[in-house]
């Protein structure tokens, strides 16, 4: 593993970097965001920027793109020191960013979005539409896009919008392309398409800064790595000369084994029995049993029907046939309130849209699913009881916040997820469904959520874990249900599951 000294093998490339950041520091009131940061980006190479949430990655990206101005340090592009005061300055220096959530104009065309801010004009100073459409078509052909220049942006999917952002970068003749969690909302096929484009950009001599929480993507697409912790550079080197475990230790100071703290607990009696559960358009013939203390994993590709099945159990998309039995007694669930009364809790995939109200405080969010439990005789919420429960659950889940009324939007992704889990634990469930519980959070926060799962299972809760991350499913589950096209296709015991078998079954093969 390379450290941060200049004479380490793998810390340098043979050619000079196209971009070099040196001694960069950035402070906000009471917060040290970056301290003495260094970053080298090389033409034709992809550098992975890794670190936990709060490590300084976002601040670094904002400095590179002109949103923030550093307090100290220098930025050198092509051997010339630059000062970037705005995104327009960054564009002028050939730096552009592709974000997790594309920031564009849905009502405008693809061509208008690509050339927004630098539209070609004719001799009269008017927009040269024919030139813009022709140049857009050329850019789209270069990245093998399957849509036209005049297509309205709102008609495109997330992956296609990312392609528009890439085309926009090429329209600026960007030599440095920053990709910030670009695969978060993409299917496996769309990710393959994105990585094909990344390979093309490298062949064209672009330098790419790739930010992702997914180690399989980092080791697939990156040539080099740079690691941040607490605003400081803690290591850099070549991907070929490191391992996932080494990167995890640098990021969070713990080994990869501690990220999946699965504990052997006594599996109890059945708490949930599902038989023949079906919905006319979403899932069919779902049958399984969940025991007390068990973590039952659900794995499948995008569109397999896992989330829809869980929403059926929760009464969000009620089944058209089938039975649900809880502790041996049939439960009729036609709405979420029925599920909550029956002892089922559901942490949804999209915590910010479906799981919480980010403009409200921690205390208010933790009470949303159990207001009746903190209401007094007059029907008003009893503040003292609500605060006491918030303190209890917040401490149990180690929520890090300035105070219990701090707005959820001000917390890191991992702490937001802890609050959403706490909200459902406040209902005192017997069955906890966790749908993609670590999506979009860093490795340290993942370990914390996994530890919470292990503790809850040890307390006797039955837990259903839905995840697209195979290491997570295999690392935390006692048994694994594999789904495809709305149906269960195989159930693996923990001891008999391998990545090859699970992926083969999920993609229609025989394991």
| 3-state class (DSSP) for residue 71 | coil
3 and 85 inside one domain:
yes
Tokens 């699965």, located at residue: 262
- 418 and 434, same domain (yes or no): no
Mean pLDDT of 345-362: 85
Q: Given 197, 227, 255, which residue is the final one in a domain?
A: 255
Q: What mean pLDDT comes out for the span 34-56?
A: 90
Query: For residue 209, what are the domain limits?
Result: 1-94+175-255
Do 322 and 423 reside in the same domain of the chain? no
Q: Is 487 a domain residue?
A: yes
The string of DSSP codes covering 469-491 is -HHHHHHH-SEEEEEETTEEEEE
What is the Cα–Cα distance from 36 to 371, expressed in whole angstroms?
48
Instruction: Report if residue 448 sits inside a domain.
Output: yes
Which stretches of 51-204 are assigned E, i.e. beta strand? 72-77, 80-82, 95-98, 176-180
Residues 265 and 327 both lie in one domain: yes
Are 197 and 246 found together in one domain? yes
> Does residue 423 fall inside a structural domain?
yes
CA separation for the pair 425, 368 (Å, rounded) = 11
Q: Are residues 405 and 363 in the same domain?
A: yes
Nearest to 272 by CA among 324, 319, 318, 221: 324
Q: Per the domain annotation, does 309 fall within a domain?
A: yes
Same domain, 424 and 434: no
Residue 10 has pLDDT above 50, yes or no: no
Task: State how beta strands 462-466 and 72-77 pair.
Answer: unpaired
167 and 199 together in one domain: no
pLDDT tens digits, 107-161:
999 999 999 888 999 888 899 999 999 999 998 988 888 899 999 999 988 778 8
Residue 99, domain member (yes or no)? no
**Which of 336, 355, 347 has the alpha carbon at shortest distance from 433?**
347
Highest-scoring range by mean pLDDT, 51-60, 322-331, 393-402, 499-508: 322-331
For residues 46-71, give the mean pLDDT: 89
Which element (helix H / strand E) includes 38? strand 31-41
Look at residue 351 and tell me if it is in a domain: no
DSSP 427-474: T--SEEEEESTTTT--HHHHHHHHHHHHHHHHTT-EEEEE-S-HHHHH
Lowest-confidence region among 250-259, 330-339, 361-370, 406-415: 250-259
From 255, 286, 318, give the residue that closes a domain.
255
Nearest-10 crossing angle of helices 443-458, 244-252: 90
- Pick the last residue of a domain from 405, 428, 451: 428
Among 19-23, 149-153, 173-177, 460-464, name the one with the lowest average pLDDT. 173-177
Q: Are residues 320 and 394 in the same domain?
A: no
Q: In 3D, which of 228, 250, 252, 255 has the Cα closest to residue 47?
A: 228
Taking residues 257-282, report their average pLDDT: 86
Q: What is the pLDDT of residue 1?
A: 47
Q: How confident is the model at residue 460 (pLDDT cuts 50, 70, 90)?
A: very high
Rounded distance between C-alpha atoms, residue 75 and residue 93, angstroms: 11
* Average pLDDT across the chain, whole number: 86
Among 10-24, 202-216, 227-241, 272-286, the range scoring the smallest mean pLDDT is 10-24
For the stretch 296-323, pLDDT in tens is: 999 987 778 999 999 999 999 889 999 9
- Whether residues 85 and 226 fall in one domain: yes
The answer to whether residue 349 sits within a structural domain is no
| In a shared domain, residues 246 and 263 | no
Q: Provide the token pair at 137.
A: 């078509």
Please report which confidence band the pLDDT of residue 9 belongs to, taking 50, 70 and 90 as the band edges: very low
Counted domains in the chain: 4
Burial 252-283 (b: 16+ CB within 10 A, else e): beeebeebbbbeebeeeebbbbbeebbbeebb
pLDDT at 24 over 80: yes
Tell whether 182 and 45 lie within a shared domain.
Answer: yes
Closest CA to 473 of 295, 305, 339: 295
Question: Which pLDDT does position 258 carry in this prediction?
Answer: 59
Nearest CA-CA partner of 485 in 323, 324, 309: 309
Cβ atoms of 198 and 230 closer than 8 Å: no
CATH number at 283 reads 3.40.50.300
Cβ atoms < 10 Å from Cβ of 228: 25
Question: Could you tell me if residue 348 is inside a domain?
Answer: no
């Amino acid at each position: 593993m390379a450290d941060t000294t200049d004479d380490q093998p793998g810390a340098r490339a043979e050619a000079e970097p196209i971009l070099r950041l040196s001694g960069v520091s950035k402070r906000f009131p009471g917060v040290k965001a970056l301290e003495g940061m260094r970053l080298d980006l090389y033409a034709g190479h992809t550098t992975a920027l890794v670190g936990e949430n709060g490590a300084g990655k976002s601040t670094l990206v904002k400095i590179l793109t002109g949103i923030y101005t550093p307090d100290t340090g220098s930025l050198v592009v092509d051997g010339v020191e630059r000062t970037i005061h705005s995104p327009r300055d960054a564009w002028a220096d050939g730096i552009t960013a592709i974000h997790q959530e594309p920031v564009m104009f849905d009502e405008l065309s693809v061509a208008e979005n690509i050339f927004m801010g630098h539209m070609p004009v004719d001799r009269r100073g008017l927009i040269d539409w024919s030139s813009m459409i022709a140049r857009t078509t050329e850019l789209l052909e270069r990245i093998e896009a399957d849509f036209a220049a005049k297509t309205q942006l709102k008609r495109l999917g997330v992956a296609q919008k990312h392609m528009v952002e890439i085309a926009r970068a090429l329209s600026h003749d960007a030599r440095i392309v920053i990709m910030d969690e670009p695969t978060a909302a993409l299917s496996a096929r769309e990710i393959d398409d994105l990585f094909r484009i990344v390979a093309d950009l490298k062949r064209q001599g672009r330098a790419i800064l790739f930010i992702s929480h997914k180690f399989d993507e980092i080791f697939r697409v990156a040539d080099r790595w740079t690691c941040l912790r607490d605003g400081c550079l803690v290591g850099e080197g070549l991907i070929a000369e490191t391992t996932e475990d080494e990167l995890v230790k640098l990021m969070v100071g713990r080994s990869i084994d501690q990220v999946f703290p699965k504990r052997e607990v006594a599996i109890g009696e059945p708490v949930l029995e599902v038989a023949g559960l079906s919905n006319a358009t979403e899932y069919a013939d779902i049958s399984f049993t969940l025991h007390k203390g068990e973590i039952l994993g659900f794995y499948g590709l995008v569109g397999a029907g896992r989330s829809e099945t869980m929403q059926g159990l929760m009464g969000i998309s009620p089944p058209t046939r089938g039975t649900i039995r809880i502790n041996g007694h049939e439960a009729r669930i036609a709405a979420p309130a029925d599920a909550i009364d029956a002892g089922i809790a559901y942490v949804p995939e999209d915590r910010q849209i479906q799981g919480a109200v980010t403009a409200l405080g921690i205390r208010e969010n933790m009470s949303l699913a159990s207001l009746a439990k903190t209401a007094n005789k007059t029907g008003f919420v009893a503040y003292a009881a609500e605060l006491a429960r918030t303190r209890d659950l917040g401490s149990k889940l180690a929520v890090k916040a300035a105070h219990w009324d701090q707005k959820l939007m001000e917390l890191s992704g991992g702490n937001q997820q802890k609050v959403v889990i706490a909200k459902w634990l406040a209902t005192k469930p017997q069955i906890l469904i966790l749908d993609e519980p670590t999506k979009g959070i860093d490795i340290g926060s993942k370990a914390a959520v996994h530890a919470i799962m292990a503790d809850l299972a040890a307390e006797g809760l039955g837990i259903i874990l839905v995840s697209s991350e195979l290491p997570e499913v295999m690392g935390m589950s006692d048994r694994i249900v594999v789904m495809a096209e709305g149906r269960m296709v195989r159930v693996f015991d923990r001891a008999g599951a391998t990545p090859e078998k699970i992926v083969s079954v999920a993609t229609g093969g025989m394991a």
